[in-house]
Amino acid sequence: MPTHSSALEFDDFSFWDNDIGFTNISEESVTTLLYYLLEHYGVDDMMMSGPYLALFCKIVPDSEARPTTIAGCIAIWLSEDEELPYEIGLEDLADADELEVSGEILKDLKPYFLPDKATLLAISIYFPFAAYVTFLNTGLIVELPQQSTDDYRDALEKLPGGIVNSGITLGYHNGPLSSTKTLKTMVPNIRISVSGNDSVQA
């Protein structure tokens, strides 16, 4: 049975795991969750991108009548014709084998915990072509130089799709995040240039 105040939690599943951070739930649990949200809140579709759970409704429930977190995720309530906020899906995923890093680096990589600047500098060695490496919320975003869409897609096919034995995400962005105002509004984050000459922390 779910429990609900401003947080809606379920006994049998959660997107949050205390050991590894945000994770997927089974297809059966997804079906259970979606049916519950449809029945009680009119949710027609949902998309999880930790730490967010985007919920699409014909009529968005009043703020007083809807939970702010669901199954460990921050609930983002949207009407069917609204687009996803920029914060969701900020980075793109790559397709190549996962990157292996040292144990010292792994120990410093945890969702929602800012790594040392030295850790990011050590990781940046693997991406000498990048402009910046950023730790944001639950993982790393490698900011590539701005390039054409085709070249960017080609690059994603060859870049590491994750970090072996880590609980964080690894994503990529076409062009610097500093070209948007989004980065300054999202915490925790720390950002370094690949040359190591500057860092920005919000």
The pLDDT score that the predictor gives to residue 163 is: 93
Query: What's the pLDDT tens digit per position in 95-120?
Result: 899 999 999 999 998 876 778 888 98
- Maximum C-alpha span of the chain: 53
pLDDT digits (tens, 9 = 90+) for 110-146: 876 778 888 988 999 999 989 888 887 678 989 898 8
- For the record, the structure tokens of 89 come out as 């899906």
- The answer to whether residues 73 and 53 touch, using CB atoms and an 8 Å cutoff, is yes
Could you report the per-residue pLDDT of 55-88, keeping only the tens digit for each?
999 999 998 899 999 998 889 899 988 876 655 6
Q: What is the pLDDT of residue 95?
A: 84
- The pLDDT of residue 69 is 92
Phi, psi for 157 (deg, rounded to 5) = -70, -20
pLDDT digits 0-9 by tens, 15-25? 887 776 667 78
Which of 123, 39, 46, 29 minimizes the C-alpha distance to 80?
A: 46
Strands across the sheet containing 132-136: 169-174, 139-144, 132-136, 189-193, 199-201
Percent above pLDDT 90 for the chain: 31
Predicted model pTM: 0.56
**Residue 159 reports pLDDT greater than 70:** yes
**pLDDT at residue 149 in the model:** 84
Given this model, what pLDDT does residue 169 score? 86
**Residue-averaged pLDDT of the chain:** 81
Rounded-to-10 torsion of CA 22, 97, 128, 184 = -20
